[in-house]
């Protein structure tokens, strides 16, 4: 029996998957350090396809976003702002869209602190994984892992059920986008210090 969330979990609307991932445990096996890093997912965002102007997939498939148009349960990883990687899981589709994914925006670290501190070059617990770029660096995630099947516990990245989670979640507009700011497609754990922004409603200009 496998403990990893499987394809049936990911093969739903990105909105449902984004909500249901809150409180789950992400597992990152790092063979290079002979250690496994773990953290609870405390912040996510849902992205669609042609119907979502904020999504990388809004203008159809390109080489960069091709994974988003493929099978649910794969990792979609991209590089941005000249510095950072961001981790997504490919999901099923929202309405008539042909692509969907959930961005992992923040984690609450639960094991592997020392390696995360080394990779992030900071000791500060709250600063280790409290952002999409930060958590990729803390978990040693880069473009080489894009397209990885995450539906097996054998995978070096996968997500597990967490029956000890008893928290609630809130919703807000997504962070850092220019378009579709009205959609409340960001989900985050209530009162959790590891979420990337403290405001429920980010400033709208």
81 binds DNA per the rule CB under 7 A: yes
111, 117 contact by CB (below 8 A): no
Q: 114: which 2 tokens?
A: 């020392």
**Min dist. Cβ of residue 65 to DNA (A):** 6
The residues, any chain, with a CB within 8 Å of residue 110's CB and separated by 6 or more, are 25, 38, 39, 40
Comparing CA positions, the residue from 162, 31, 174, 151 lying closest to residue 90 is 151
* Binding residues with DNA: total (CB under 7 A): 40
Rounded CA-CA distance 48/59 in Å is: 11
**Min dist. Cβ of residue 89 to DNA (A):** 10
* Per-residue binding letters, 155-194, with DNA (x by CB under 7 A): -------------------xxxxx----------------
Rounded CA-CA distance 30/143 in Å is: 15
Q: Give the nearer residue to DNA in terms of CB position, either 50 or 153.
A: 50
**Min dist. Cβ of residue 181 to DNA (A):** 11
Q: Give the nearer residue to DNA in terms of CB position, either 98 or 120.
A: 120
DSSP string, 65-94: TGGGGS-TTBEEEEEETTTEEEEEEE---S
Q: 164: which 2 tokens?
A: 């000890």
Site for DNA in 15-74 (CB under 7 A): 45, 47, 54-57, 59-60, 62-65, 68
Q: Give the nearer residue to DNA in terms of CB position, either 65 or 151.
A: 65
Of positions 30, 133, 149, 171, contacts DNA by CB under 7 A: 133
- The label of the residue with tokens 């500060």 reads 124
Of positions 1, 32, 34, 82, contacts DNA by CB under 7 A: 82
**Min dist. Cβ of residue 9 to DNA (A):** 18
Q: Where are the beta strands (DSSP E) in 54-194?
A: 75-80, 84-90, 101-111, 157-160, 169-172, 186-189
- The label of the residue with tokens 């497609």 reads 185
Q: Give the nearer residue to DNA in terms of CB position, either 89 or 169.
A: 89
Residues that bind DNA (CB under 7 A): 45, 47, 54-57, 59-60, 62-65, 68, 76, 79-84, 86, 88, 101, 103, 120, 122, 127, 131-135, 143, 174-178, 196, 203
């Amino acid at each position: 029996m496998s403990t990893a969330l499987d394809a049936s979990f990911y093969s739903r609307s990105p909105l449902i998957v984004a909500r249901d991932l809150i409180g789950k445990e992400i597992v990152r096996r790092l063979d290079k350090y002979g250690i496994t890093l773990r953290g609870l997912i405390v912040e996510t965002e849902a992205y669609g396809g042609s119907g979502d102007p904020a999504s990388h997939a809004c203008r159809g498939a390109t080489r960069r976003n091709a994974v988003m148009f493929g099978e649910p349960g794969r990792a979609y990883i991209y590089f941005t702002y000249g510095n950072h990687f961001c981790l997504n899981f490919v999901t099923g589709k929202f309405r008539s869209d042909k692509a969907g994914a959930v961005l992992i925006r923040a984690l609450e670290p639960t094991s592997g602190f020392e390696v995360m501190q080394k990779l992030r070059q900071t000791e500060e617990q709250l600063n280790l994984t409290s952002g999409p770029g930060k958590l990729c660096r803390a978990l040693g995630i880069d473009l080489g892992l894009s397209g990885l099947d995450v539906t097996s516990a054998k995978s070096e990245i996968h997500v597990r059920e967490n029956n000890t989670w008893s928290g609630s979640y809130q919703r807000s507009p997504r962070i850092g986008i220019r378009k579709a700011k009205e959609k409340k497609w960001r989900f985050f754990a209530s009162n959790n210090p590891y979420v990337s922004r403290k405001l429920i409603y980010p400033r709208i200009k």
